[in-house]
Amino acid sequence: MLLCCTRACTRMMFFLLDLLWMLIELSYSILSAVLQTFLRPRLKCIDGELCLITGAGGALGRLFALEFAKEGANLVLWDCNQAANEQTAELAREKGVKVYTHTVDLSRRQDIYEAAEKVRLDVGDVTILVNNAGVVAGRRLLECPDELLERTLLVNCHALFWMTKAFLPQMKAQNHGHIVTIASALGLFSTACVEDYCASKFGAVGFTESLAHDLHAENLNGIKTTLVCPYIVDTGMFEGCEIRKELRGLIPPLDPLYTVKQSMNAILAEQQMICIPRLMYIPLLTRALLPWEANVATYRFMGGDRCMMPFIKNMEIKAAKDQVKTS
């Protein structure tokens, strides 16, 4: 009986000590986050690292390539558009770094694994992985071909699993690496007419957060993750999307270069998550704290409930024109 009481007291003591340590860590984390808001964080050096960027032929991918090249990282650029990818490579080589290109369709798992093996054999181990590629169907759910819906999920979400399985083992072997996921504010809260995109980005957010917990549980502190959740970026991907006229000046589409520079600061500071702009933290909090009806009322006031409809209309017009050309 006495032995049982002793064990119970010991367990309670360890529980209370663990609780105290958790509170200390919690306070330290909050204080660090507050200080980093006002003070410039220390940025790590990535000179000589091997950085792989998906969607490198697009607007954001190209800017990421140039920014990583400025920091001295050698590049592996993946895109399904060979011509656009080579253009990015030419610009990056002007920065004096080594650049390797591959034409890869991220919706095809085997293509990813084969290209990853080729990178390992021909170039070396990737130490920074930037999952930047993204697509959207741009159709209303009931009018969208299943193939387009599937492609959005495959490229924006499923490819994260395959990319990580391809490159994380080498990072774990060295306890060194950085996995970056370019998600979206629409992975934190949703809007109408882009069910495929929201579902894929919610998946990307959940995947990256779970991966971060996994690495932490294995004490692989040398492998970092960064989750980037920007508002609509002015790349043309969501052309026509707009909120209420009176509020457009407060939350305009993001400049691509600004988005990439903010993301780079977070990556080099080894920040786990960044919302761009900071205003995006507000709807994230209100979604969790307010009733559904309150969020719907806010969306309606801001025009967020119908903001994608002009974009969908533009995509429908474009699809109709393309169909006329091919007929």
Active site residues: 197
d(CA 302, CA 281): 16
85-102 b/e (C-beta count within 10 Å ≥ 16 → b): bbebbeebeebebebbbb
Q: Which residue has the tokens 């957010």?
A: 205
| Residue whose structure tokens are 């064990």 | 7
Q: Which of 306, 108, 114 is nearest to 191 (CA)?
A: 306
Residues in Cβ contact with 186 at an 8 Å cutoff, skipping those fewer than 6 apart:
194, 197, 198, 201
Q: Cβ(88)–Cβ(57) under 8 Å?
A: yes
Instruction: Name the DSSP letter for residue 254.
Output: B
Query: What whole-number distance in Å separates Cα of residue 319 and Cα of residue 312?
Result: 10
The answer to whether the beta carbons of residues 218 and 210 sit under 8 Å apart is: no
Tell which residue, 115, 122, 72, 78, has the closest CA to residue 92.
Answer: 72
SS3 state of residue 255? coil
H-type helices in the chain, by residue range? Answer: 2-38, 59-70, 82-93, 109-122, 146-153, 159-174, 195-217, 256-268, 281-289, 292-302, 309-326
Q: How far apart are CA 199 and CA 152, in angstroms?
A: 9
205, 208, 213, 115: which is closest to 166 by C-alpha? 115
DSSP classification of residue 233 = B
What single letter denotes the amino acid at residue 85?
N
